[in-house]
Structure 1
Amino acid sequence: MKIDSSKIVLNIFIALLLASCNSIKRVSDEEHLLDKNTIYVNDKVDKTETINNLLYQKENINFLGIPFRLYLYNLARPNIDSIVNSNIDSKPNKRERLEKFLSKKQLNKYVEARIGFNKWLKKTGEAPIIVNDEKTNRTLNRLEAYYFNNGWFNVKVTSKTNRLDNKRATVDYFVETGEPYIVNSLKTKIESPVIDSLYQSSKKESAIKLNERYKTKTFGLEKDRLTSNFRNNGVYHFSEDYVFFEMDTVRTNKKVDVELQIGDRIIKNDDSTRTEPFKIYKIKEVNIYTDYSYLNKDKTIKDSLSVDGYNLYSNDKLRFKPKALTDAVFITPGEVFKDRDRTLSYRYISELRTFKYPNIEYVENPDTTLTANVFLTPLKKFGLEFSAEVSQSNIQQIGLAFNPSILMRNVFGKAETLQLTAFGSIGASKDAANDEDRFFDIQEWGADLMLTFPRIFSPFNTDKLIPKYMSPRSSVSLSTSSQTNIGLDKRTLSGTLNYQWKPNTKVTNRLDLFNVQYVRNLNPNNYFNVYSTSYDQLNEIAQDIGYVGPDENLIIPEQADQFINEVLSDMPPPGLTDDDVQDISYIDERKTRLTENNLIFSSAFSYVRDNRKSLFDENFFIFRGKVETAGNFASLMSNVFGKEKNTNGNYEILDVVFSQYVKTEFDYIKHWDLGKKRVFAVRGFFGIAIPYGNSNSIPFAKSFFAGGTNDNRAWTAYSLGPGSSESNNEFNEANLKLAFNTEYRFNIFDDVYGALFADAGNIWNVLDNVQDPNATFDSFSSLKDIALGSGFGLRYDFGFLVFRFDIGFKTYDPSYPDGERWFKDYNFRNAVYNIGINYPF
């Protein structure tokens, strides 16, 4: 009889779990398990998260109505160490016999293991929540404070604890709000003329609105607004402590009359205090210490330079050109003091990657001016970095990658950085297309040289168009790579010049002024080994018409290429049908496109708007848009200089047909915070690349694919589409893509989260040289080929990253005939298992 050990383990676990399913197992006779809290506001149950989060004591966490963590906790034995040792000492000489049989060390390890597992059960589980009258009273105080601070000054809050005979209890809270108080009027009493003038000029922006319900937080917001406004308009000594609100609710019929009071500046001496009106301060000068450190703070300055009110000092010879540093400091001599200038300077200097986090201090002068001292500590001239990773995909069993990098700072004296990064990877394919016995048959090597300027690198002055507060950056890069794998192998050479700037904290713009990319396929003869589906189709036609015997195969590449050429010639082999010729034409077109070398001269503009307030904000949207064009300038110059076209009617540069196309992408992500650590997220993507002029197709590197851990998770990367075609190629791609994703995320316990998702989308060919009706988008009727995947997943939040495991099921598969597409392979055997880092969108 065959014993299934996995079933035995599962049955034991279920038995133990059932044994722990008594919720009150660890509740003593004098205690009551908190079963439920209910909050009644004006006799109606309030289930909103805002109100329920005010509870000091909540019932045990449950999932689908079952307190799994409580059950897990109940599996633990109390006082396990005493129980284990008592069991060993229950019989005379038992401990001695066990020590002789196991050894004393092994016996101690056995005891520690039993105790350790018991501790794990307690830590992972959740102890029963016992009703606590003190916490109930604290909840009453918190509820009362909440409603009072939101305008219900006459609120009354009571509670009732219902202790049941089964050692369970419920707690009901009753809130009677009464009528809310309304802000009726706002008067001011401001001592300093300077402050009064600034207030009057900005009072339309006040957070306090008349005839609206009183909210305490509104007055806090107004304090912050006034403090920021005054300190950014020259009032150096102002702080929020000077802002005071006096409320009058006496005989006002539930209305609040507010008086804003701001006194003069208080100046404290050793034994006296005096007041004087606030004044506007200006910046007299800015001192920049370019190589400050605590160890050499007392050294004599050896080099100095003054430029437009900026004084640059160095303990050694000044290594930085003045403009590089003055551009990084937003505090301007002769201008009114603005508190935000210091924040902008901190951000800009940090982004230079040349200095440690700076220190900026103000010194008050007798003439109502300030001197700003900026202390900069340069990082080392050279920096080394190294990273490595291990990966797995549908193409390779295992992959190893490494990226050593060297960084050189302040290359030309203007805080430029030069970074040389080498990259290499080796991998073992799952199904190698060659006959070599090497385990690591996938290799890629290359290097990237990037020079970054903390400004717009241009012969023209762009300061008015893109001022320095937008943190402009320019990057010039040159990279090369060589790839040897189970496919065509290729060598790539590229060069770019791009600009990046941020008009505000939410928007990032990027302009790739030019991007030149050359891709050369090194092993085109291996095509049919990689794209075996195309080969099988070609071979089947050859066998059907007797071009080769029924048990013979076309030899790759010679015989396969020869057969294609003969079929598409003026004298094709006999026995071919029109469909056969059309299918072979499709195969030839795809082979030609994927094996040809590519030369791309492109420019692109990207726009990103991200309205997240912080990394923890779960109520936000992100919009990304990109427009890219390629080949226009090369085509114009070829036409102007009368360059001759090749036999196919295309221009060439260095014997390569350059690509010409326009490509656009739109990506929108929206998150809704549903409370209680629940999030609903959606994503929509549209992309299209249209060839024209010198091209009738899109280069493989610029095409779209579907499937994968961050796309449609019911299909592996490159396995979906195009359209309803039944392609089993390793790499399916096209020039039009639609994608829609939805995901509901929820907390299970602690840092473990669950997710339910649905992913829809596909890729198609459009306006290019592909004629296969199953793969092309020709009308809105093609939308019926949108694939739908659904599934569920688990996430573990480590804080610095999220580990993700998703299972995707093919819910609607367009590769099947109409009427057979729903739930055709909806099972675990055909499911796709995805492992990823962080959320997919």
Structure 2
Amino acid sequence: MTKLKLKHYFGASMAAMLVLNSCSNTKFLQEGQLLYTGAEVNIKNDTLSKKEKSNLAEALEDQLRPKPNSSFLGLRPQLYIYNITKEPKKDKGLRHWLKYRIGEKPVLLGDVDRKFNEDIIVNYSENKGFFNARATSDTISKNKKAKVIYTLTPGARYLISNVNFPVDSTVINSEIQSIKSESLLKAGNPFDLDVIKAERERIDEHLKNRGFYYFSPDNIIVQADSTVLKEPKVELFVKLKNNTPQLAKEPFTINKTIVFPDYNIDDVKVGKYGIPYATDSVEVQDDLYIVDPEKKFNSRIFNRALYFSKGDLYNRKDHNLSLNRLISLGVFKFVKNEFVVSDSLNNQFDAYYLLTPRPFQSLRLETLGKTSSANYTGGEVNLNWTHRNLFKGAEQLKASVYGAFDVQIGGPKDANNIIRVGTNAQLSIPRIVAPFRFRSSSAYVPRTNFDIGYEYLSRTQLYTLHNFTGSFGYLWKENERKEHNLKVLDVTVVAPQNVSDKYLQQIKGDPANGIMPNPSLQRVIDKQLIFGPTYTYTYTNTMLPKKNTMYYKGSVDLAGTLAGILSGADAKAGNQKELFNIPFSQYAKMEHDFRYYRKVGDKSSFASRIIAGIGYPYGNSTTIPYVKQFFVGGSNSIRAFRARTLGPGSYDPTVQNASFFFDQSGDIKLELNAEYRANLYKFLNAAVFADAGNVWLVNEDPERPGGKFSKEFVKEIAVGAGVGLRLDFNILLLRLDLAMPLRVPYFEEDDRWTFDRIDFGDRNWRRDNLILNIAIGYPF
């Protein structure tokens, strides 16, 4: 099938589906019923700009009820399912589930209360300063479908003429006066109720940080007066309500800070103010009272976590900071804070911290079944032990033992099974352990981490690798968006064993039997010593309720830099140095991962990602260690290609006349991904995606021609696309992505696009080109 025919066939199919689905939903309507397809708001106003009208109309349309039946690409599949499913006889079973859980009852024009929506439009407009707004409505119907057209005549928008903050002699008024210049209410701006609410919140936040613990935004009133002006303007007066409690007008200071680190409501007596009171002795540390009869915790952790001291003026910033730091220690299940007035004459209260610890030790067994796009199927077992208070200072020790196996089933070539057995231990100390002082004002406790691990990896009939890892470094967060991870020393030692003759034969080659030499395989089994600092910076605002969010992760890896400089190593000149009889690696590597998420509607979004990385060997190395190189392909990368079978550059891995596939790697990586995601039903999501990218080499490799990065790299970009289903059960997201290659970089340069080869009816084509990825979680 030619490209043109395929395009016409696809377009005709989509058009037929749209028409069929459109007609099939309306044929289920009864006589006189009209399917409601939505509403439109028109603005009649000569003083507003086109953009202002558009923004107002969009905001008003969002307020209207009910919403029409949900749609996907112009179709209404949930409504169709409801219509074609017969009425169930019982309130359970498959039919009931399909009709009332998966399906969606039709929204009819008769369900729309036009008068109610007109009132909503007028009320919203008045809140935005259009005090003389009027609204009317009408319907347009065709082919058993109807939509409602609302027309708003807002009139002139009222502007703020002046903002007044009345003065009196109270302490609280003085605080309000001190920040009136920063008011969100500005003369000349439109009257807007949302801005007024934000102004009240601004004043409340300032007062909370100046000791007014009992104050509330509801204690502020903003009065608008338009009677004294002939033009459409209002004068605003910002002041306290007359019924504001006296307690809310007084700033409070901290008297005592009392911590109950082993709080349990069932085991502690209740004191005068409903606060637990213990009869045991109280430990006092720098005006901090700690009630811990069993001495489960070292008092120093509370000195670091709590920011209130005796005599301090209460402020909400330190209040929240202390709570967040206690939570981030990871040792407490519940953190509760209460303030009790202890001296009403001097406006003092005591701060109580009621902390319920988590079990200090836990043991967890995990089992995992998995499959990969490289035709590997296997399983993994993990046994994890955690101690959350090792030295009574909230130090966390995590130790794990694991075993895993992967067996290749099918695929274009035979491969060897993989067995992994290993152990790992991590000690995390909730402070910076260093010869210098480090005082963090972040809500997150900084940590010093020590890691050590070992893994035995056996690729049966080929080789065995012993991997030893260790690291020491610091992890800290500036805030919820910015995180730093500095490993002062990150060490990896790889020692090979039991390298088979079969594998050595692939390295040396056997021209007589058509097997060409492949020296690059030697790097996999070389002894490796990698050490040096690494740094990772992460920024994300995806946790915020915003329409557009982003994620960025950048990393730098500098291996063997100082050792190479001091020893004068130069591998290219034959002067390669060793440590412990192992040549150490020397390279510089960095990688950037940027992701952008945009909400398209209530039930759909667009996600995109760009990954760019480069590694450069120098000094004691001519190549980057195999375990530190870049790879593409697989369920979280370019999904139309099996994991680690793509690249470098235009090199064709299928020409390897070997009895097994080995992973394709590169020193440079570029990857781009785009995905449209839509919710079909509560837990059922669909996606359409496209992936592109490749890896390249910094230096020429005679055994992998076409692998070096050049100015022609764009021509060597691989492209794939596909569709996916995601089952989101909150605690688990199961993902199924079906992808096919659209551009293959190792085909002839003028024949790399594959549109003319697509043939869904050909079994062999489907086997070689349709890649099913089954994974847990989103790809990015």
Asked if 1:592 is matched to 2:522, the reply is yes
Tell me how far 1:618 sits from its aligned partner.
4.5
Identity across aligned pairs (percent)?
A: 27
The answer as to 2:165 corresponding to 1:188 is yes
> CA 1:686–1:63 in 2, change beyond 3 Å: closer, same or farther?
closer
Deviation at 1:749, TM superposition (A): 4.7
Q: Deviation per CA, 1:701-727: give whole Å up to 9, x if none.
A: 110011122221221211111000001
How many angstroms does 1:30 deviate by? 5.0
8 Å contact kept, 2:25–2:80: yes
Per-residue CA deviation, residues 309-340 of structure 1 (Å, 9 max, x unaligned), is 11112233x23222112212222323211122
Residue pairs, 1:18-37, within 5 angstroms: 22-29=24-31, 31-37=33-39
Which secondary structure does the structure 2 equivalent of 1:357 belong to?
strand
- Give 2:672's aligned residue: 740
Query: Deviation of residue 377 (structure 1)?
Result: 2.2
1:397 and 1:52 map into 2 onto residues whose CA distance is 51
Residue type of the partner of 1:52? E
CA 1:633/1:21 → structure 2, altered by over 3 Å: closer, same or farther? same
Q: Select 1:612's aligned residue among 520, 542, 545.
A: 542
1:577-600 CA deviation, whole Å, 9 max, x = no partner?
xxxxxx74xx22x02212201111
Q: Quickly say closer, same or farther: Cα 1:69–1:293, change in 2 above 3 A.
A: closer
Q: What are the superposed Cα offsets for residues 240-263 of structure 1, whole Å, 9 maximum, x if unpaired?
A: 121110011223411121110125
Aligned mate of 2:365, from 378, 383, 386: 386
Q: Secondary structure at the match of 2:218?
A: helix
Contact 2:371 2:774 in 1 (8 A): no
Higher relative contact order (CA 8 A, sep 6+): 2
1:641-682 deviation per Cα after TM superposition (whole angstroms, max 9, x unaligned): xx9999952111222111111111111111222224332222
SS at match of 2:563: helix
Change (3 A) 1:148 1:819: same
> 2:637: which partner in 1?
711
Alignment of 1:140 with 2:118, yes or no, is: yes
Residue identity in the other structure for 2:43:
V
Aligned with 1:376: secondary structure?
A: strand
Q: Does residue 445 of the first structure (1) align with residue 376 of the second (2)?
A: no
Q: Over aligned residue pairs, what C-alpha RMSD do you find?
A: 3.3
User: Structure 1 residues 131, 189: closer, same or farther in 2, change over 3 A?
Assistant: same
* 3-state SS in 2 of match to 1:31: coil
Instruction: Report if the CA contact (8 A) 2:80-2:103 is conserved.
Output: yes
Alignment-mate amino acid for residue 641 of structure 2:
W
SS in structure 2 of the partner of residue 715 of structure 1: coil
Equivalent residue number for residue 91 of structure 1: none
Matched, 1:54 2:63: yes
Shift of residue 35, structure 1, vs aligned partner:
4.4
How big is each residue's C-alpha offset from its partner over 1:215-266, in whole Å with a ceiling of 9 and x where there is no partner?
Answer: 2111111111111111112122211121110011223411121110125784
1:823 Cα shift?
1.6
Residues 417-443 of structure 1, C-alpha deviations (whole Å, 9 max, x = no match): 11111122123223699999xxx9432
- 1:787 maps to 718
- Bigger Rg, which one: 1
CA contact (8 A) 1:735 1:764 kept: yes
Alignment check: 8 A CA contact 1:265 1:278 kept: no
Partner of 1:237: 214
Q: Deviations over 1:172-196 (max 9, x none)?
A: 2111222211122110125464323
Q: For residues 788 and 743 of structure 1, what CA distance do their matches in structure 2 show?
A: 14
Whole-Å Cα distance in 2 between the matches of residues 434 and 448 of structure 1?
34
Kept in 2: contact 1:246–1:260 (CA 8 A): yes
Greater Cα offset, 47-56 or 288-297: 47-56
Question: In the alignment, what sits opposite 1:270?
Answer: none
AA in 2 matched with 1:371: D
2:481–2:541 Cα contact (<8 Å) kept:
yes
Distance 1:277 1:627, change over 3 A: closer
Q: Distance in 2 between matches of 1:433 and 1:692?
A: 37
Unaligned stretches of 5+ residues in structure 2? 1-15, 270-276, 655-660, 761-765
* 1:95-132 deviation line (CA, Å, top 9, x unaligned): xxxxxxxxxxxxxxxxx899743652454222222223
Give runs of aligned pairs for residues 130-209 of structure 1, distance below 5 A.
130-132=108-110, 135-162=113-140, 168-191=145-168, 193-209=170-186
Where does 1:553-568 land on structure 2 (aligned, <5 Å)?
A: none
TM norm structure 1: 0.80
Which residue does 2:550 correspond to in 1? Answer: 621
Write the distance in 2 (CA, Å) between the matches of 1:118 and 1:469. Answer: 49
Q: Which runs of 5+ in 1 are unaligned?
A: 1-13, 82-111, 268-274, 544-551, 555-582
1:661 is matched with 587
Distance of 1:287 and 1:77 partners within structure 2: 65
2:387 to 408, 429, 432: 408
Residue of structure 2 equivalent to 1:455: 431
Deviation sequence 1:53-97 (CA, Å, 0-9, x none): 22212333333434333332222334x64xxxxxxxxxxxxxxxx
- Give secondary structure in 1 for the equivalent of 2:122: helix
Checking the alignment, whether the CA contact within 8 Å between 1:20 and 1:72 is kept in structure 2 is no
Change (3 A) 1:681 1:434: closer
| Pick aligned residue for 1:601 from 496, 519, 531 | 531
Is residue 496–residue 525 contact of structure 2 (8 Å, CA) maintained in 1? Answer: yes
State the distance in 2 between where 1:204 and 1:674 align.
38
Alpha-carbon distance in structure 2 between the residues aligned to 1:790 and 1:698: 31
Partner of 2:694: 762
CA contact (8 A) 2:214 2:247 kept: no
Aligned pair count?
Answer: 732
Q: 8 Å contact 2:536–2:555 — kept in the other structure?
A: yes
Q: CA deviation at 1:141?
A: 2.0
1:217 matched to 2:149? The reply is no
Amino acid at match of 1:148: E
- DSSP 3-state at the match of 1:221: helix
Q: Conserved in 2, the CA contact under 8 Å of 1:722 and 1:734?
A: yes
Q: What is the rounded CA distance, in whole Å, between the counterparts of 1:435 and 1:667 in structure 2?
A: 34
Q: CA deviation at 1:163?
A: 6.3
Q: What residue identity is the alignment partner of 1:222?
A: E
Please give the residue correspondences for 1:430-579 in structure 2 after superposition, counting only pairs within 5 Å: 430=409, 441-463=417-439, 466-467=440-441, 469-486=443-460, 487-525=462-500, 528=503, 538-539=509-510, 542-543=511-512, 552=513
Other-structure match for 2:402: 423
Structure 1 residue 477, shift from structure 2 partner: 1.3
- Other-structure match for 1:107: none
Shift of 1:774: 0.3
User: Which residue, 251, 257, 261 being the options, matches 2:235?
Assistant: 257
